[in-house]
Chain A
Amino acid sequence: AQKVTQAQTEISVVEKEDVTLDCVYETRDTTYYLFWYKQPPSGELVFLIRRNSFDEQNEISGRYSWNFQKSTSSFNFTITASQVVDSAVYFCALSEGYQAGTALIFGKGTTLSVSS
């Protein structure tokens, strides 16, 4: 069965610190998709990134970077030089199958608090 585990429930950092959010997934499919979403205090989930199981290339987008490792079933997310505006709940999610058009399986989320 598919499952997403975000072991870190809450993380607190001071502005400008780097922070890594961990995500471990379980799936029996060879084709799957992984996602990160951000949920700020306003409540609306914001899409950050999608990765498919055939593309293990790490990605950097501004202060954000993602490390996908199939060998350890992990898809970790790093924020460099964190800012107060990064404070939010971050969710990792998994979708199985070739079309990935069905259910997203979410982890329980990691609450990131960045103080000034």
Chain B
Amino acid sequence: DTGVSQDPRHKITKRGQNVTFRCDPISEHNRLYWYRQTLGQGPEFLTYFQNEAQLEKSRLLSDRFSAERPKGSFSTLEIQRTEQGDSAMYLCASSLSSGGGGYEQYFGPGTRLTVT
């Protein structure tokens, strides 16, 4: 039973560079979520997909952030022109969905981004 995986686990980049993270959800899950977590805080929602459709985006997701899930399986999160304030743990989660109720989200190990 494979859980949610994320790659890379750690990324150090210089301010102004672009970075891309990948998330592979649990195979039968059709919903995929991205969150950001800074030190001492709970995760904050960024965006989510149902299959390949991006259905919701947070105000935290500035124009420098873009997420895709081209075939409804893995997803990528790209940050352009990184800033020091982007330093955080980026978490991916996946869940089932149905018309009848909610399902818990299962989280990956995260990608820790450090912008120098």
By a beta-carbon cutoff of 8 Å, the part of chain A in contact with chain B is: 4, 33, 35, 37, 42-47, 50, 52, 91, 93, 95, 97-109
In this complex, the member of B44, B56, B105 whose beta carbon has the largest number of chain A beta carbons within 10 angstroms is B105
Interface of B is mostly: strand
B109 interface contact, C-beta 8 A: yes
Q: Which residues of B contact A97 (CB under 8 A)?
A: 102
Q: Which residues of A contact B40 (CB under 8 A)?
A: 108-109
Q: How large is the interface on B (under 10, 10 to 19, 20 to 34, 35 or more residues)?
A: 20 to 34
Q: Are A99 and B44 in contact (CB under 8 A)?
A: no
Q: Are A47 and B106 in contact (CB under 8 A)?
A: yes
B88-116 contacts to A, CB under 8 A, are: 89, 91, 93, 95, 97-99, 101-110
Q: Are B102 and A101 in contact (CB under 8 A)?
A: yes
B75 interface contact, C-beta 8 A: no
By a beta-carbon cutoff of 8 Å, the part of chain B in contact with chain A is: 31, 33, 35, 40-45, 48, 50, 55-56, 58, 89, 91, 93, 95, 97-99, 101-110
Q: Are B45 and A105 in contact (CB under 8 A)?
A: yes
Q: Which residues of A contact B110 (CB under 8 A)?
A: 43-44
Whether A103 contacts B48 in the complex (CB less than 8 A), given A44-B110, A109-B42, comes out as yes
Q: Which residues of B contact A42 (CB under 8 A)?
A: 109
